[in-house]
Structure 1
Amino acid sequence: MSLTHVLALVVFVGAYALIASEKVNRTAAALGGAALMLALGLTDGEAAFYSETSGVDWNVVFLLFAMMVIVGVLKRTGLFEAMAIYAAKRARGRPFPVLVLLIAITGIASAMLDNVTTVLLVAPVTFVVCERLGLDVVPYLVCEVLASNIGGAATLIGDPPNIIIGSRSGLDFNDFLLNLAPFALGMLVVLVLLVRVMFRRTFVYDAERAAEVMALSEREAIRDPKLLAQSLVVLVLVMAGFVLGPVIGKEPSTIALLGAGLLVLVSSVTVEDAIADVEWETLVFFMGLFVMVGALVETGIIGDLAEQLAKATGGNLTVAVLLLLLASLLLSGVVDNIPYVATMAPIVVALTADVPGSGDGLWWALALGADLGGNATAVGASANVVVIGMARRYGTPISFWRFTRYGATVTLASGLLAVPYLLLRYT
């Protein structure tokens, strides 16, 4: 191991330890780590800010920014309060049915949209539901994040790593739907069963609060019907743009920015009000994290790990599938799964040529491992970071270890179920 490898690992592990300990603000730790990577020459400005594989993913940053603006405007209409009242009434104010409903909505929506957009839309509803029913919002937010990452694994557009895999492998939307959607749907059912046990003490029914919610009217919660109509039209256009993005040749970030700009332009909301709810700290945290992980790519650490994985398979398909799944589950919980998949894709291309009879099985192992491994820790996936940032802003912080305790449990269950699914179907 070279000196650059050692330095990069020391800086990354040190910053990660500070984030996990929560003794230092996570954004400060990420920025400090990024600064050290640049100062020590482990990456440079060109790689950190312009490289597609080892730099800040500006598509993710601007997608988040634009959707935060749209959600911030929507929040002013009263839509989230109306949706919260509707959901609580459908579940008759009972905590566990409310959670099941939110998991189902999040999981299904994450398959049609990207998972970050989904949690940005669903989380504000959750805060209102829990406030109305007097419930601890943290278990509900954690479950929604887990559901978003599971649901996002189902389709080509559900999670950014899937888009990379589709591009490198030639697999299309229908391939993902047929091969991964059945597992994702089954895993959502398993998630419901797991959370029934993990959060059993939080499902306390308050008959008085439930009665108060049942007496509320969804329509009366809407404060600005005109702004709501404008916002919904823009939101529908943005969602349609996401689906048609590959056809019209526009990135999701571009579509979201166009939507945010149009909404601010046609509505009476001022620019100051429109950006008031943007999670600036979360966006900066992402930038620092991207630079640190990019340095691991630049110094060759992630590439070396991938090559060792390729050598360890020995041409055996079963071994290759299991190692690829295990490595992806573990590494995607520590580093962002986007640069990880970008680095692993060429290795999988080589593996499919070297391992007899592999077909597309290795690609599905990579996709499931990277998508579901993101649930393992509080920084494993973009949706995790976004929701934790929102929770802090709302005054209900979710600690790194509290999230990781539940996320790691679900990731372990996902891995145990993915093994027989992959082996029986593709080997």
Structure 2
Amino acid sequence: MTASTQAIFATSVFLLVYAIIVSEKIHRTVIALIGAGVLILAKILTPEQATEAIDFNTIGLLIGMMMIVGITRQTGVFEYLAIKAAKRSGGHPLKIMASLGLVTAVLSAFLDNVTTVLLIVPVSFAIAEKLRLSPLPFLIVEIIASNVGGTATLIGDPPNIMIGSATHLGFMDFIINLTPVIIVVYVLTIFLLKLIYRRQLVTAPELQAAIMEMDENEEIKDHDLLRRCLLVLFLTIAGFALHQFIHLESSVIALSGASLLLLLSRQDPEHALHAVEWPVIFFFAGLFIIVGGLEHTGVIEKVARWSLDLTGGQLVPTAMLILWVSALASAFVDNIPFVATMIPLIHDMGRLGGIANLDLLWWALSLGACLGGNGTVIGASANVVVIGMAEKRGLHITFLGFMKVAFPLMIMSIILSTAYLLIWYHLHAVFTVAVAVGGLALGWLLGLIDRRAAARRAE
């Protein structure tokens, strides 16, 4: 095949795989692996090039955290937190909704979003049943909170894991740069959801009293294992916070934490590995190979050049384009393949446009992809999981019914993110200039002191 034919072939495979993923006619892992296999069989990529295209840092981080969470969930601590939050709300439905949202957001910042909703949603159904209310408001809040909370940290959402692995940005960079705007987005989102559902969340005082009778301590099944899990979680998160300074990849930290927990808990490794969502892992592997085909054939570089022509190569317009395109695209397609495509594109945009510091673009991609997932029921994996759990219990959440509530809230979060990134950019520029001026001033002052000292010695 000629170079242009290879580019057309790789693009066709990518678009076909993407279309099938969106349609959900074939499991996304199956079609991703088929797409990767087709590229190798067609000799677009050699087996060695395909292996090099896989980001094993992302894979290792996901496996390590899945193992830690899988062992920790056996203790019942997550159910304990959900019931505790409900009781602290005094049994008032609106306060319970906000409390469960907060627990979901915080857990999603440090655990996989899907795992978080799998743990919190069953408790929400039990609480709604005791209050004789529809669980719908609780589920909507938990879906949105999981995606908002997951945006705040490196390990909170797969797009952030992928961005962190592909850049110099570490755990503390995500917290420092993204958590401030995420807190504002979360608070405003919960406030608006309270206004939307305030009339639906009214119940009798005696039913509220039933919530206060729930015993959260009964959920803790193994206190000894809980202590060991909390110790390993603390050490792992501390490792993430320090990994840039100790020069260890985040995957090494996560896998080391998982290995330590296996040792301390004396769990059967085979049982612990069942907690790993292997279809997700192989989906990532296939996806990385497909995107590697686009990169190898020069397709991504051409798209990067077109994007730079559109924005004139200016950093701020480029960031705004990435933010809004990411948000709108992630509302209707899975944000994981979208981010996998955008990462090499942004690298090429930086190289071709001569942009030395790409941080603003990475924050735009993270905010757009993660928050955009709140737009529709198919925008993020957690959304699909909760909708499926609801349907099994006889509660049907329609596409338009969810979108009517969630899409405006998503747009609101992106507007806030736009304002935040513009402020961040200008403050960052002011800070950089201040540091440069301060450095020059300090150099001048030290030089002056040195000259005066030399003059005194000469006297």
TM-score normalised by structure 2 residue count? 0.72
Correspondence for 1:215: 213
Given residue 128 of structure 2, which amino acid in structure 1 is its aligned partner?
Answer: L
The answer to whether the 8 Å contact 1:329/1:370 transfers is: no
Given residue 130 of structure 1, which amino acid in structure 2 is its aligned partner?
Answer: F
Change (3 A) 1:94 1:238: same
Give 1:86 shift: 0.5
Post-superposition Cα deviations, 1:200-249, rounded to whole Å, max 9, x if no partner, equal 79757586765433112222322211111122112211111111111222
Q: Percent identity?
A: 30
Q: What 5-or-longer segments of structure 2 have no aligned partner?
A: 130-134, 427-459
Of the candidates 178, 181, 185, which is equivalent to residue 187 of structure 1?
185
Give the distance between the partners of 1:50 and 1:404, measured in 2 at CA.
40
Q: CA RMSD in A?
A: 4.2
Give the distance between the partners of 1:206 and 1:14, measured in 2 at CA.
53
Of the candidates 316, 336, 359, which is equivalent to residue 363 of structure 1?
359
Of the candidates 362, 365, 369, which is equivalent to residue 373 of structure 1?
369
What does residue range 4-403 of structure 1 map to in structure 2 within 5 Å? 4-51=6-53, 55=54, 57-107=55-105, 113=110, 116-117=111-112, 120=115, 123-134=118-129, 135-136=135-136, 138-152=139-153, 159-160=160-161, 163=164, 167=168, 180-193=178-191, 195-196=193-194, 210-314=208-312, 319-329=317-327, 335-338=337-340, 340-348=342-350, 351=353, 363-377=359-373, 384-385=380-381, 388=384
Given residue 70 of structure 1, which amino acid in structure 2 is its aligned partner?
Answer: I
Q: What 5-or-longer segments of structure 1 have no aligned partner?
A: 354-358
The answer to whether the 8 Å contact 1:378/1:384 transfers is: yes
Residues 1:414 and 2:413 aligned together? yes
Give the distance between the partners of 1:276 and 1:36, measured in 2 at CA.
29
The answer to whether the 8 Å contact 1:164/1:342 transfers is: no
Give the distance between the partners of 2:346 and 2:249, measured in 1 at CA.
22
* Worse-matched range after superposition: 176-185 or 293-302: 176-185
The answer to whether the 8 Å contact 1:143/1:195 transfers is: no
Partner of 2:236, secondary structure, is: helix
Instruction: State the number of aligned residues.
Output: 408
Change (3 A) 1:66 1:341: same
Give the distance between the partners of 1:391 and 1:283, measured in 2 at CA.
22
Given residue 300 of structure 2, which amino acid in structure 1 is its aligned partner?
Answer: I
Given residue 266 of structure 1, which amino acid in structure 2 is its aligned partner?
Answer: L
Give the distance between the partners of 2:155 and 2:112, measured in 1 at CA.
16
* Worse-matched range after superposition: 197-206 or 322-331: 197-206
Give the distance between the partners of 2:412 and 2:352, measured in 1 at CA.
29
Give 1:5 shift: 3.0
Change (3 A) 1:151 1:346: same
Give the distance between the partners of 2:95 and 2:86, measured in 1 at CA.
9
The answer to whether the 8 Å contact 2:171/2:241 transfers is: no
The answer to whether the 8 Å contact 1:18/1:24 transfers is: yes
The answer to whether the 8 Å contact 2:64/2:254 transfers is: yes
Correspondence for 1:356: none
Give the distance between the partners of 1:50 and 1:316, measured in 2 at CA.
32
Given residue 159 of structure 1, which amino acid in structure 2 is its aligned partner?
Answer: N
